């Protein structure tokens, strides 16, 4: 009798559970669901919130989140990370300014997921990888792939049908993750938005270190803030009108050929000029990292007009992400300092150790495109962390294989005046995911993407972002703050 009552109680308890709560008992390989709860409408739409741990290797512990909306649009959107990750991209703040978080995807009706790439910590710290090669593999590509596969399986169980389309949305490391997925796991996504991708990982890390070495060599060679302002203003004065509009934004900074020697002090050093050491540092910032033996470029330099963002590589220490890479992954020495890097032997060692683990520069995207996959990449010309020319270089490498057919599946949008992933002097808020949806679902290719600049909550400029190599050209009539008065053309 007791057993029968126990059976009835268990049956009643099971019937009282929601479909969301029943996911806690789900059994799938290499994943443990730690919680599943239904959340009512609040700041976010009503949804089922799932937390889980992925263990694809004996040393893996990848924490992920999956949100399943009550009003589902039938699609899945995974979102990426930044730096060395270490956190899940839930999303806070203005979803219009940063539309690549779980919160922004959920508001659009997507089932959405993100993960911490297998470790906890700050985005600038790679110490998690020291002595843990499997965790480095998780960060490099496995965490995103496993999260995607498991998310699709849970979505199918929860809704009774698989997502009809799956998208990726990320910037910086998230952009690298998107390109890595297209290259290594072409069946994971039907469309990818890859912003400012850190895909040439080892050479990006080298470029940051090389910039720090350049701006700290032969003191007083490093560039204080007032000298960056001086340089920035000189670029603006010399090159602003090259695109036909004097508006504080360079549509194509590669056309700007200002020689910093024009700012060199004629007599004693002062606030209105650059010392010889500072002139050389500026040249190296624009030039990028170069192998001292072969004279070949390792990584492209910063674009003119990006000067006000050089502080991350021009402070007392270089950007921590880069120094951390060489400390814990290349040399495995927590005391290693960026001054020690040899741009010949050290970079060769970094490339050998990486061996395309984190780096994602394979130009063969045909398997992804053959499935109907679409790729939108964007990058701010004023990016202060990842050279905008890195995106140009990767796009050209893919175009070199596909020729004119590249535009059928892949378009790159360069954003004048935009900083790293967002912000900056130019229009920097846009919706590449919306453009990707129309392209993938309605075959409407993005001939331009509107972008806005906002000051104190008010839109004060709208411009079209054009598919590379086109730029926005002023038609000569009307305000230059209205996108309708510009056309996309090859300069």
Active site residues: 172, 383, 420
The answer to whether the CB of 175 falls within 8 A of the CB of 195 is yes
Counting every residue written for the chain, the total comes to 491
HEC readout, 139-175:
HHHHHHHHHHHHHHHHHHHHHCCCCCEEEEEEECHHH
Give the integer Cα–Cα distance in Å for 368 and 183.
7
């Amino acid at each position: 009798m007791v057993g029968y009552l126990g059976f009835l109680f268990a049956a009643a308890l099971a019937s009282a559970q929601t479909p969301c709560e029943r996911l806690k008992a789900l059994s799938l390989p290499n994943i443990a669901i730690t919680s599943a709860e239904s959340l009512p409408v609040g700041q976010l739409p009503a949804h089922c919130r799932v937390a889980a741990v992925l263990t694809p290797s004996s040393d893996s512990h990848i924490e992920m989140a999956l949100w399943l909306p009550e009003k589902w649009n039938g699609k899945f959107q995974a979102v990426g990370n930044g730096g060395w990750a270490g956190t899940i991209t839930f999303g806070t703040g203005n979803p219009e300014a940063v539309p690549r978080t779980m919160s922004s995807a959920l508001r659009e009706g997507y089932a959405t997921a993100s993960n911490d790439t297998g470790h906890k910590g700050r985005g600038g710290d790679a110490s998690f990888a020291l002595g843990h090669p499997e965790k480095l593999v998780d960060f490099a590509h496995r965490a995103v792939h496993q999260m995607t596969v498991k998310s699709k399986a849970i979505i199918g169980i929860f809704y009774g049908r698989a997502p009809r389309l799956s998208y990726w949305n990320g910037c910086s490391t998230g952009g690298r993750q998107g390109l890595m997925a297209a290259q290594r796991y072409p069946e994971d996504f039907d469309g990818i938005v890859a912003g400012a991708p850190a895909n040439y990982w080892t050479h990006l890390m080298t470029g940051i270190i090389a910039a720090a070495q350049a701006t700290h060599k032969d003191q007083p060679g490093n560039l204080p803030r007032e000298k960056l302002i001086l340089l920035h203003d000189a670029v603006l004065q010399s090159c602003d009108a090259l695109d036909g509009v004097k508006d504080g934004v360079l549509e194509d900074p590669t056309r700007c050929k200002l020689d910093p020697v024009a700012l060199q002090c004629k007599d004693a050093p002062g606030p209105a000029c650059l010392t010889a050491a500072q002139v050389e540092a500026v040249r190296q910032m624009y030039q990028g990292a170069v192998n001292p033996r072969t004279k070949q470029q390792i990584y492209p330099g910063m674009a003119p007009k990006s000067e006000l963002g050089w502080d991350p590589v021009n402070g007392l220490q270089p950007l921590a992400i880069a120094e951390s890479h060489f400390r814990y992954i290349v040399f495995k020495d927590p005391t290693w300092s960026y001054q020690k890097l040899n741009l010949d032997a050290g970079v060769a060692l970094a490339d050998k150790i990486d061996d395309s683990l984190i780096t994602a520069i394979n130009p063969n995207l045909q398997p992804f495109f053959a499935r109907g996959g679409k790729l939108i990449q964007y990058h701010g010309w004023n990016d202060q962390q990842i050279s905008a020319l890195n995106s140009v270089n990767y796009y050209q490498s893919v175009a070199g294989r596909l020729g004119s057919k590249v535009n059928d599946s892949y378009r790159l949008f360069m954003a004048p005046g935009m900083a790293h992933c967002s912000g900056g002097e130019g229009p920097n808020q846009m919706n590449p995911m919306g453009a990707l949806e129309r392209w993938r679902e309605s075959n409407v290719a993005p001939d331009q993407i509107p972008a806005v600049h906002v000051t104190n909550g008010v839109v004060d400029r709208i411009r079209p972002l054009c598919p590379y190599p086109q730029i926005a050209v002023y038609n000569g009539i009307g305000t230059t703050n209205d996108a309708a008065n510009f056309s996309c053309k090859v300069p």
